C-alpha cells in the first residue's frame, strides 16, 4: 500500500465516523445542494456537532454560521465542501490550515467538464497532498453511514436509508438516488453508501479496503463507469475476499468495443476492453452483474443467508408449473435437485395428502396451508442431502399468503441453511412479500433470479475454498537475451520483430520453437535445409512484409536440397514482384512441424489491466467463433488450466468423439512462459502465436508462427 493509500485508510475513519462536521458553503435556499446537504445531516439524527460555514450569514436554520472554517473554535473532523468549483480550492486550503484531514467535495465542475475543470481538480490534489488531506469527490453525491452511533446522511439523497449490511459504492451520483429509492421499496438496508464521483483522490480501491475492515458491512457493491487502474482493483478485490470473505459485486457500465478493430494482431482485435474486464473480474473473484436488479438479487442472498456448502436444493411449491419452471432454471444454473433421504420421504408422506408429490420438487398442492408448508420445510431443512430450500407460492383462493410468509420466517430461524423465496404474482402476494423482506428473507419475483442468486453464492463459496496459488519457477528463462533482441529491433526503428528474431525471443523463454536459420542465397538455402532436415518450411523475412502468405512468401513441404534452392529463388521473386520496394533480409528456414491441433496464444496490453493473455482454438475458429478466453497476468497454473477449459472447443483437445487427447499440459507450460515474457518486457505490446501446434498427450506442442509488435515509447530497465 502506498503512503497516500495508508493515509486514506486513516482519514476515512473520520469521513465515515465524524463527531463534528463543517458544511462549507452552506446556504438557506431550499432545493439547492448546499442546503439539502446541510439539512440531510441536521434532520438525519446525526450524533455529532454541525458547523455551517456561510460567509455573510449569521445562521443557517437555527444553527450559528461561520464566515470561514478557520473561525470555528473547536476541532472539526470532517469538512464537506459545497461551494462552487471556482472557489472549492480556497475552502480546501482553509481545511488544511484548520487541520481537517477528512473532506468530501460535493461540488461539480472539475475533470468531468474538461478545460478549466481539469486544472481545478489538479489544484485540489495539490492542496490535499500539501496538508495530508484525503477527500472523496469532487462531483459526487456524498455519503451515508447508517451506523446508529453515527447516523450521518452527508448527501443530497432524499432520505436516510434503513440500516443493513450492504456497502454500496458508486461512481455515479444520480444512480445512487435511484438505487436508494429501489432499495427502500424492497426493504433493503445499507451499512455505508458512498458516491465517489471523479475519484480524484480517494478511489473505489481505497473504499473497498475500508469496507473490508468495516464490521457492519457483509457485502460490497460497486457501480463503475471506468476502471482507471484495473490491476489495483483486482488486487484490492483479491485482498478483500481473501482477508474478509466478503463478496464484491460490480456493475461496470459501457460494454462496448472500442479500438479493437484497429488492432494489428488477432489478440488485439479479439481482446476488447469488456472481454478483458470480464476475465479480470472472474480471476479476482469479483461477481459482475449486468443490472441493478440482478445486483440486489444476489446481494440480498449474501447479506441475509449463509453461503451454501454445496449446490443441492429442495424446491417446495404449491403449484406444479412453477415447480417445473424452477427446476429448469436450477438445472440451467448448474444446481442439483437434492435427493431426499428415506427418512425425509417418510415424513413427507405422512404430513402431506396422497395427491401431493413427495419427491423433489415437493408439491404441497394448491390448497396448502401454512402447516403443510411448515412440515415440508422442516423435513427439507433436516435432510443432510439438502443445502438450501426454495419456497414457491402462487396465490390461490384458499392460500393464506401472509400466514405462510410468517411461517417461512419462523421455520428458517431454526436452521443454518439458506432459504430463498418466490411468491409469484404482484398484487395479492405483496403483503406476504413485505413480511419476508422485513425479516430479511431473500425474495425473488422470478424463479430464474432465485436460481441464479443461489448458484452465484455457491460458486463464491467454492472460490473461497480454493487453495492459494503456487509460485511458478521460471528459472529456465533468459530475460537478458530477450532484452537484447527487443533492444536491437527498437534501435533499428522496428515496430515488430522479424520471424527469426521472434523465434529467438520465444526460445529465450523456453517456448517450444522449431529452431531455424536465416539464409541469404540459394546455395546457403540448400545447405542449411539439408542440415536442418526435411520436410522444411521457408518464409520470407522482410521488415516491410507483415502478411507473408499474401505475397507468396511462404512455402511448406520443402523436401530436398534442390527443392530448397528453387524455393529460395521463387520466394524472393514473388516478393520482389508484388512488393518491389520491400527491404528483404533473407529467407528463414525451419524444420516443418508435424500435424496436430492448431491453437492460438496471444498477448495484449490493456491500458487499465496491463498485460493480458489469450487462448483459443486456432485457424478459422478464432475469427469466426471468437471462442477465446483471457486472463490478466501473472497467472497461476490452475488459472491457465481453467482458461484452456473455458473455451467451448476444449472438447476437441480433450479427445472428443474418438480423437486422441492433446497435450494440454504443454499448452499450459507455453502460456505460463508467455505470461512471464509479458511481465519482463513491457516493450512487447502485442504478440500472436498462431498457430501453436499441439500434439498428442505427452508429445508437446510447437510454435508454428509468431508475430511480435513492439513500442519504442518505454525505457529499458
Partner 1 sequence: MEKSEVKARVVNVITSILEIEEALVTDEANFIFDLGADSMQSLQLVAGFEEEFDIEMDEDKALDVQTVGHAVDFIAEYL
Distance CA 387, CA 381 (A): 8
Nearer to partner 1, 54 or 555 (CB): 54
Distance CA 261, CA 269 (A): 6
Cis check for the bond before 112: say yes or no (omega within 30 of 0). Answer: no
C-alpha grid cell, residue 529? 535445409
With cell 472557489, the residue in question is 87
Phi, psi dihedrals of residue 61, rounded to the nearest 5°: 55, -125
Nearer to partner 1, 98 or 673 (CB): 98
91 forms beta bridges with: none
Cβ-based burial of 29 (10 A; exposed 0-12, middle 13-18, buried ≥19): exposed
Distance CA 694, CA 664 (A): 8
* Closest approach of partner 1 to the CB of residue 241, in Å: 44
Distance of CA 134 to CAs 4, 129, 172, Å? 8, 8, 20
Distance CA 358, CA 408 (A): 19
* Closest approach of partner 1 to the CB of residue 140, in Å: 19
Nearer to partner 1, 57 or 186 (CB): 57
Helix/strand number for the chain, H first, E second: 24, 29
- What order of strands is seen across the sheet that includes strand 584-591? 516-519, 584-591, 536-542, 554-558
* Closest approach of partner 1 to the CB of residue 15, in Å: 23
Longest Cα–Cα distance in the chain: 101
* Closest approach of partner 1 to the CB of residue 25, in Å: 8
Nearer to partner 1, 56 or 658 (CB): 56
Nearer to partner 1, 87 or 472 (CB): 87
Nearer to partner 1, 29 or 462 (CB): 29
Q: What is the DSSP letter of 499?
A: H
- Cβ–Cβ under 8 Å, residues 436 and 426: no
* Closest approach of partner 1 to the CB of residue 86, in Å: 7
Nearer to partner 1, 67 or 578 (CB): 67
* Closest approach of partner 1 to the CB of residue 32, in Å: 7
* Closest approach of partner 1 to the CB of residue 33, in Å: 10
Nearer to partner 1, 107 or 267 (CB): 107
* Closest approach of partner 1 to the CB of residue 127, in Å: 14
Nearer to partner 1, 87 or 337 (CB): 87
Print burial letters for 684-699: b (CB count within 10 Å at least 16), e (below 16). bbbbbbbbbbbbebee
Compute the C-alpha angle 298/303/308, nearest 5°.
75
* Closest approach of partner 1 to the CB of residue 34, in Å: 8
- Cβ–Cβ under 8 Å, residues 304 and 425: no
DSSP string, 635-674: --HHHHHHHHHHSTTHHHHTTGGGPPPB-HHHHHHHHHHH
Nearer to partner 1, 156 or 621 (CB): 156
Nearer to partner 1, 60 or 368 (CB): 60
Nearer to partner 1, 25 or 516 (CB): 25
* Closest approach of partner 1 to the CB of residue 76, in Å: 17
* Closest approach of partner 1 to the CB of residue 132, in Å: 23
Q: What share of the chain is helix, strand, coil (3-state, %, to 5)?
A: 40, 20, 35
Nearer to partner 1, 32 or 310 (CB): 32
* Closest approach of partner 1 to the CB of residue 27, in Å: 5
* Closest approach of partner 1 to the CB of residue 87, in Å: 4
* Closest approach of partner 1 to the CB of residue 108, in Å: 12
C-alpha grid cell, residue 585? 533480409
Nearer to partner 1, 90 or 546 (CB): 90
Sign of CA dihedral 492, 498, 500, 505: positive
Beta strands at 219-224 and 163-170: parallel, antiparallel or unpaired: parallel
Nearer to partner 1, 56 or 698 (CB): 56
Using only C-alpha atoms, the chain has a radius of gyration, in whole angstroms, of 32
Which stretches of the chain bind partner 1, using CB under 8 A?
Answer: 25, 27, 29, 32, 34, 54-57, 67, 83-84, 86-87, 90-91
* Closest approach of partner 1 to the CB of residue 183, in Å: 32
* Closest approach of partner 1 to the CB of residue 11, in Å: 24
Distance CA 117, CA 242 (A): 39
- C-alpha 164: how far from its chain's center? 24
Nearer to partner 1, 104 or 205 (CB): 104
End-to-end CA distance of the chain: 23
* Closest approach of partner 1 to the CB of residue 24, in Å: 9
Nearer to partner 1, 116 or 291 (CB): 116
Beta strands at 610-617 and 152-155: parallel, antiparallel or unpaired: unpaired
- Cβ–Cβ under 8 Å, residues 406 and 434: no
Kindly give the interhelix angle for 292-304 and 447-465, rounded to the nearest 10 degrees.
60
Is residue 571 helix, strand or coil?
Answer: helix
Nearer to partner 1, 57 or 288 (CB): 57
- C-alpha 75: how far from its chain's center? 41
Q: Which helix (H) or strand (E) holds 60?
A: strand 59-60
Distance CA 43, CA 334 (A): 48
Phi, psi dihedrals of residue 399, rounded to the nearest 5°: -85, 125
- Cβ–Cβ under 8 Å, residues 529 and 589: yes
* Closest approach of partner 1 to the CB of residue 90, in Å: 5
Amino acid at each position: 500500500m502506498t503512503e497516500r493509500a495508508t493515509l486514506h485508510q486513516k482519514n476515512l475513519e473520520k469521513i465515515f465516523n465524524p463527531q463534528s462536521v463543517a458544511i462549507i458553503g452552506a446556504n438557506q435556499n431550499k432545493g439547492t445542494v448546499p442546503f439539502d446537504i446541510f439539512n440531510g445531516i441536521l434532520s438525519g439524527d446525526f450524533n455529532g456537532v454541525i458547523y455551517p460555514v456561510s460567509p455573510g450569514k449569521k445562521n443557517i436554520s437555527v444553527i450559528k454560521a461561520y464566515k470561514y472554517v478557520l473561525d470555528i473554535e473547536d476541532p472539526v473532523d470532517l469538512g464537506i465542501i459545497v461551494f462552487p468549483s471556482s472557489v472549492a480550492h480556497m475552502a480546501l486550503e482553509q481545511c488544511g490550515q484548520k487541520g481537517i484531514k477528512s473532506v468530501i467535495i460535493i461540488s461539480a465542475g472539475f475533470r468531468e467538464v474538461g478545460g478549466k475543470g481539469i486544472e481545478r481538480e489538479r489544484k485540489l490534489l495539490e492542496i490535499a497532498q500539501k496538508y495530508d488531506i484525503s477527500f472523496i469527490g469532487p462531483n459526487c453525491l456524498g455519503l451515508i453511514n447508517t451506523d446508529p452511533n453515527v447516523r450521518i446522511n452527508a448527501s443530497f439523497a432524499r432520505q436516510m436509508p434503513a440500516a443493513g449490511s450492504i456497502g454500496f459504492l458508486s461512481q455515479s451520483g444520480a444512480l445512487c438516488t435511484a438505487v436508494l429509492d429501489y432499495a427502500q421499496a424492497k426493504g433493503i438496508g445499507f451499512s455505508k453508501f458512498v458516491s465517489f464521483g471523479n475519484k480524484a483522490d480517494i478511489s473505489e480501491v481505497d473504499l473497498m479496503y475500508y469496507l473490508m475492515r468495516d464490521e457492519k458491512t457483509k457485502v460490497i457493491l460497486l457501480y463503475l463507469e471506468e476502471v482507471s487502474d484495473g490491476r489495483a482493483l483486482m488486487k484490492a478485490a483479491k485482498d478483500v475476499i481473501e482477508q474478509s470473505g466478503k463478496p464484491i459485486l460490480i456493475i461496470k457500465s459501457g460494454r462496448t468495443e472500442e479500438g479493437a478493430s484497429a488492432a494489428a494482431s488477432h489478440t488485439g482485435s479479439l481482446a476488447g476492453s469488456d472481454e478483458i474486464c470480464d476475465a479480470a473480474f472472474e480471476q479476482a473473484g469479483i461477481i459482475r452483474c449486468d443490472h441493478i436488479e440482478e445486483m440486489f438479487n444476489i446481494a440480498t442472498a449474501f447479506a441475509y443467508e449463509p453461503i451454501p456448502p454445496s449446490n443441492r436444493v429442495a424446491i417446495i411449491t404449491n403449484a406444479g408449473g412453477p415447480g417445473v419452471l424452477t427446476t429448469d432454471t436450477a438445472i440451467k444454473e448448474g444446481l442439483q435437485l437434492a435427493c431426499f433421504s428415506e427418512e425425509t420421504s417418510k415424513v413427507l408422506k405422512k404430513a402431506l395428502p396422497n395427491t401431493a408429490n413427495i419427491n423433489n420438487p415437493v408439491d404441497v398442492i394448491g390448497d396448502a396451508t401454512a402447516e403443510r408448508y411448515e412440515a415440508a420445510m422442516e423435513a427439507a431443512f433436516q435432510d443432510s442431502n439438502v443445502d438450501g430450500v426454495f419456497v414457491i407460492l402462487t396465490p390461490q383462493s384458499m392460500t393464506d399468503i401472509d400466514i405462510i410468509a410468517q411461517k417461512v420466517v419462523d421455520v428458517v430461524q431454526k436452521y443454518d441453511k439458506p432459504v430463498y423465496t418466490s411468491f409469484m404474482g404482484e398484487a395479492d402476494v405483496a403483503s406476504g412479500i413485505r413480511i419476508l423482506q422485513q425479516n430479511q428473507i431473500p425474495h425473488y419475483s422470478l424463479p430464474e433470479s432465485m436460481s441464479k442468486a443461489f448458484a452465484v453464492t455457491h460458486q463464491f463459496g467454492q472460490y473461497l475454498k480454493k487453495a492459494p496459488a503456487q509460485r511458478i519457477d521460471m528459472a529456465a528463462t533468459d530475460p537478458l537475451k530477450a532484452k537484447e533482441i527487443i533492444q536491437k529491433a527498437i534501435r533499428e526503428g522496428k515496430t515488430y520483430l522479424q520471424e527469426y528474431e521472434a523465434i529467438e525471443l520465444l526460445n529465450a523463454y523456453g517456448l517450444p520453437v522449431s529452431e531455424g536459420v536465416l539464409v541469404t542465397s540459394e546455395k546457403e538455402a540448400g545447405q542449411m535445409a539439408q542440415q536442418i532436415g526435411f520436410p522444411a518450411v521457408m518464409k520470407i523475412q522482410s521488415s516491410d512484409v507483415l502478411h507473408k502468405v499474401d505475397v507468396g512468401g511462404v512455402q511448406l513441404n520443402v523436401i530436398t536440397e534442390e527443392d530448397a534452392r528453387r524455393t529460395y529463388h521463387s520466394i524472393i521473386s514473388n516478393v520482389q514482384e508484388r512488393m518491389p520496394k520491400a527491404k528483404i533480409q533473407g529467407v528463414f528456414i525451419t524444420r516443418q512441424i508435424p500435424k496436430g491441433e492448431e491453437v492460438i496464444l496471444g498477448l495484449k496490453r490493456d491500458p487499465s489491466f496491463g498485460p493480458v493473455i489469450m487462448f483459443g482454438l486456432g485457424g478459422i475458429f478464432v475469427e469466426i467463433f471468437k471462442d477465446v478466453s483471457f486472463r490478466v497476468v501473472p497467472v497461476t497454473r490452475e488459472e491457465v488450466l481453467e482458461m484452456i477449459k473455458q473455451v467451448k472447443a476444449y472438447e476437441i483437445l480433450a479427445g472428443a468423439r474418438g480423437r486422441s487427447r492433446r497435450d494440454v499440459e504443454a499448452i499450459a507450460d507455453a502460456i505460463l512462459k508467455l505470461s512471464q515474457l509479458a511481465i519482463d518486457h513491457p516493450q512487447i505490446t502485442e504478440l500472436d502465436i498462431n498457430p501453436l501446434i499441439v500434439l498428442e498427450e505427452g508429445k508437446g506442442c510447437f510454435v508454428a508462427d509468431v508475430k511480435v509488435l513492439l513500442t519504442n515509447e518505454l525505457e529499458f530497465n
